[in-house]
Chain A
Amino acid sequence: MGLFSATKTRFVDTDILVIGGGFGGCGATYESRYWGRNLKITLVEKANIERSGAVAHGLSAINCYMGMRWGENQPDEFVRYARGDLLGLVREDLIFDIARHVDSTVHKFEEWGLPIMLNPETGRYQREGRWQIMIHGESYKPIIAEAARKSASEVYNRIMVTHLLLDQDRPNRVAGAIGFSVRDGHCYVFRAKAVIVAAGGASHIFRPRSIGEGVGRTWYAPWSSASAYGLVLHAGARMIQMENRIVLARFKDGYGPVGAWFLLLKAYATNAYGVDYEATRIDEIKALVGKYAEITPLPTCLRNHAMLQEIKAGNGPIYMHTQEILDSRAKEEIGWEDFLDMTVGQAVVWASQNIDPKEKPSELITSEPYVMGSHATCSGAWASGPEDCAPDDYQWGYNRMTTVEGLFGAGDTIGGSAHKFSSGSFTEGRIAGKSAVRYVMDMAGNPPRVDETRLRQLREAIFKPLDNYDIGRNEIVAGTVSPSYISPLQGLQRLEKLMDEYVGGISTYYVTNEPMLTRGLELMAMLREDLDHIGAENLHQLQRAWELQHRVWTAEAVLRHTLYRRETRWPGYYYRADYPRLDDTDWHVFTASRYDVQSGDWQMSTLPVHHIVS
């Protein structure tokens, strides 16, 4: 392997392996240690858990908190809210499970030192909206990381996990994971009895609105590279709702959050001419989605839809009228902290464009699409639910285990359970952690084994992009144009353009149809072939190369699910122009897929949506 022939393979044996040190992974690590005092628990992260995952930046609110101790909300009410927001299609058992546990998570966060704002009149947590509470969350991630570090036997930072490993004797059972260190370049093989995938969802699979260096300021973190899905679907896990990408209405360019502005500060949005466009467009929304337009609050996608129609009609820009409501220093501080805690880039936009929110309104816009399992969207793996409330066909032994034995998930990995956000993802990690401990104890004396030949093949594949570059670069004088390889960035741009133009990105106003998707699939097949010819100049680019692989594998699932669901379920997220209406007769179901890595076949199917909450 040329310059990297000194690469060693390091083996790490562990009982439980947690992949990804964000909120899901930190929760999984904490809970695994609580129940599994004598187990070896290993946390592996591609960055540094002190500041990794979607909350690396910080957060200004916790968006999932019931407040049961004050009688504010009950878990079944939260299920109705999340179900409504996703137009009926969610795993109610999983959402109920998170909602009933999430308060204990938040109370622990407060005990650990997270400053939660209090309402001076009631003494309770300051509500932003019905489900959200306000925090001083700049150090939210470092606090949670401290708890995880004290729980793990070992934390491996800067290891990019590329593949899960399967048992050589029972191919539908997980056996660990393989990857490489972005620092020392060695190959790492983790042999584990149970694996919890808590990696991130996907930014940068659709072309961003910004160009040049501004593409760094995607709404969702650029390091969220779809490993949540890429890892598990390549291991043969069944995936659901991969078409359910999310589009966010946010402050233009900086992508600053709008929740505190709308819900707490009571700012409002209009078109350029001062018209409340959501109100004027409600009848046309009803024509598209029927009864779902009656839901309060109006589902996220439908609010996007109204904004999009307004922009298409030539009534933009859309403005948030911050200047109407910032009438005190206290409110000004809340508004600014909302950005400074979690989206400093938005403060930079205001400073650079001379926008003082006390004086001027700010533009809003809909973002490029993202694929996630934890926000107002629920793509992810099909998972076993809680024994005491999951319908029988949603339950096969261990809570949050995927269809691969011993493979658990949390956060963005698990499909069907929208609106987890930070606290719910940590909670789901706890649920998965406890289940994984039980699984490991039940299987005592029967550890999985990894085939040596398979390890050799994977090791070769992992480092191949370095070889591609080393060999290919001799063919050209200098520069980035080679007939033999493309860089990870060039591959990413091909993916983003393809997804944007054929699968419902910004350039078509999120519209696609069967012929577009079919053509997209043809181009996707060639992109997948070209992934064998990615050239990585160094270890950093090797990380980018594998992030690209995970993004492409995930994007293909998104494309195939979008093709399979013949309706427009979530106008404002995407539109099937050939099936422009919501169709509850045929499509009140989950879409499901299973990828067979040996044959390359995708099996598509539907799974029933059971309503357990009235």
Chain B
Amino acid sequence: MPTFTYMARCDGCGQCVDICPSDIMHIDPVYRRSYNIEPNFCWECYSCVKACPQHAIDVRGYADFAPLGHSVRVLREEAKGTISWKIRYRDGRVKEFTFPIRTTPWGSIKPPDNYDLPDLNALRSPLLAHEPDALMVAALPGLPPSITKPG
């Protein structure tokens, strides 16, 4: 397809429609379930596969170079902060991997306006937010002595 939706699993919730970066997961008006309307604009990015609460979306490799009989399945668990993969080869071999995806709770990022208001005179300095502290060096590098600013 590359992505396709299993008829028996999809409940038509539309999460895949909402997330697809390519706008190709649409709801079929007859079956009220999602499908890939434009496989030749599918990047196999798995955004919809990961987002589907019913695990109803899968990928079949591009027909012009991927022989049948494989599968690459994924379980992304935000609360656990992990993603797990199960890769099944055409010849039946299986490989499994689990990797971390985030080290902090979702939603925990401190918004930029929760920091102290910067001195607006600093708008004219080259320093960006949180610098120089966040650079973890004493100062923002300027042009070193070996470098000259041409006129």
Which residues of A are at the interface with B, using a C-beta cutoff of 8 A? 30-31, 33-35, 37, 46-48, 50-53, 56-57, 68-69, 74-76, 96-97, 100-101, 103-104, 107-108, 112-115, 136, 138-139, 143, 146-147, 150-151, 158, 182, 210-218, 221-223, 253, 333, 336-337, 340-341, 344-345, 347-354, 356, 386-392, 427, 430-431, 434, 437-438, 441, 489, 540, 543, 610, 612-614
A106 to B68, CA, bound (A): 41
A523 to B26, CA, bound (A): 35
Contacts A37-B113, A348-B70 aside, 7 further interface pairs with beta carbons under 8 A come to A69-B135, A115-B101, A138-B101, A143-B109, A213-B64, A216-B2, A610-B150
B90 to chain A, nearest CB (A): 5
| Chain A hits for B69, CB < 8 A | 352
Which secondary structure characterizes the binding site on chain A?
helix
A143 to B108, CA, bound (A): 10
| Chain B hits for A221, CB < 8 A | 21, 43, 45
Cβ proximity bits B82-94 to A, threshold 8 Å, 1 near / 0 not: 0101011111010
| Chain B hits for A489, CB < 8 A | 40
Q: Pick the contact of A352: B24, B70, B100 (CB < 8 A).
A: B70
Q: With A76-B144, A354-B89 known to touch, is A430 a contact of B129 (CB < 8 Å)?
A: yes
20 contacts between A and B (CB under 8 A): A35-B118, A35-B120, A51-B20, A51-B47, A57-B43, A101-B135, A103-B135, A147-B112, A216-B2, A223-B22, A336-B95, A340-B99, A345-B43, A347-B87, A348-B70, A351-B70, A351-B90, A352-B70, A389-B149, A614-B147
How many residue pairs at the A-B interface have CB separations less than 8 Å? 278
| Chain B hits for A430, CB < 8 A | 128-129
Contact A138 B118 (CB under 8 A): no
Report if B9 contacts A (CB, 8 A): no
Contact B123 A216 (CB under 8 A): no
Residue on B nearest A216 in the bound complex, by CB: B42
B52 to chain A, nearest CB (A): 13
A482 to B65, CA, bound (A): 32
A146 to B104, CA, bound (A): 12
| Chain A hits for B93, CB < 8 A | 354, 356
Contact B102 A103 (CB under 8 A): no
A69 to B100, CA, bound (A): 25
Count of B interface residues, CB-CB < 8 Å? 87
A384 to chain B, nearest CB (A): 13
Residue on A nearest B96 in the bound complex, by CB: A336
Q: Pick the contact of B66: A30, A69, A215, A352 (CB < 8 A).
A: A352
A214 to B67, CA, bound (A): 12
Report if B18 contacts A (CB, 8 A): yes
A540 to B106, CA, bound (A): 32
A351 to B132, CA, bound (A): 47
Which B94-151 residues have C-beta < 8 A from chain A? Answer: 95, 97, 99-109, 111-113, 115, 117-118, 120, 123-124, 126, 128-132, 134-137, 140-144, 146-151
A540 to B113, CA, bound (A): 36
Report if B76 contacts A (CB, 8 A): yes
Q: Pick the contact of A101: B22, B26, B37, B128 (CB < 8 A).
A: B128
Q: With A113-B102, A138-B101, A347-B87 known to touch, is A56 a contact of B21 (CB < 8 Å)?
A: yes
Report if B63 contacts A (CB, 8 A): yes
Contact B85 A340 (CB under 8 A): yes
Q: With A115-B101, A389-B142 known to touch, is A344 a contact of B18 (CB < 8 Å)?
A: no
A353 to B131, CA, bound (A): 49
Interface centre among B23, B69, B144, B151 (most CB of A within 10 A): B23
| Chain A hits for B67, CB < 8 A | 352-353
Q: Pick the contact of B134: A76, A107, A390, A614 (CB < 8 A).
A: A107
Contact A150 B109 (CB under 8 A): yes
| Chain B hits for A356, CB < 8 A | 89, 93
A391 to B90, CA, bound (A): 58
A301 to chain B, nearest CB (A): 25
B112 to chain A, nearest CB (A): 4
Q: With A34-B129, A103-B135, A351-B88 known to touch, is A96 a contact of B23 (CB < 8 Å)?
A: no
A222 to chain B, nearest CB (A): 5
A29 to chain B, nearest CB (A): 9
| Chain B hits for A68, CB < 8 A | 135-137, 141
A543 to B26, CA, bound (A): 14
Contact A434 B45 (CB under 8 A): no
Contact B66 A47 (CB under 8 A): no
B77 to chain A, nearest CB (A): 11
A218 to B43, CA, bound (A): 7
A577 to B31, CA, bound (A): 55
Contact B111 A212 (CB under 8 A): no
Residue on A nearest B104 in the bound complex, by CB: A113
Contact B123 A437 (CB under 8 A): yes
Report if B27 contacts A (CB, 8 A): no
Contact A104 B135 (CB under 8 A): yes
A34 to B114, CA, bound (A): 9
Q: Pick the contact of A150: B46, B111, B134 (CB < 8 A).
A: B111
Contact B102 A351 (CB under 8 A): no
Q: Pick the contact of B61: A113, A345, A431 (CB < 8 A).
A: A345
Q: With A33-B112, A345-B61, A348-B59 known to touch, is A101 a contact of B131 (CB < 8 Å)?
A: yes
A213 to chain B, nearest CB (A): 4
Residue on B nearest A222 in the bound complex, by CB: B41
| Chain A hits for B120, CB < 8 A | 35, 441
A461 to B47, CA, bound (A): 33
Q: With A35-B123, A434-B128 known to touch, is A113 a contact of B108 (CB < 8 Å)?
A: yes
A52 to B99, CA, bound (A): 22
| Chain A hits for B130, CB < 8 A | 104, 108
Contact B43 A222 (CB under 8 A): yes
A363 to chain B, nearest CB (A): 11
Contact B2 A30 (CB under 8 A): no
**Which 4 A-B pairs have CB atoms at the shortest separation, nearest pair first?**
A113-B104, A69-B136, A214-B62, A104-B134
Q: Pick the contact of B129: A35, A347, A387 (CB < 8 A).
A: A35
Contact B151 A392 (CB under 8 A): yes
Contact A107 B112 (CB under 8 A): no
| Chain B hits for A214, CB < 8 A | 40, 62-65
A505 to chain B, nearest CB (A): 18
Residue on B nearest A160 in the bound complex, by CB: B23
| Chain A hits for B137, CB < 8 A | 68-69, 103
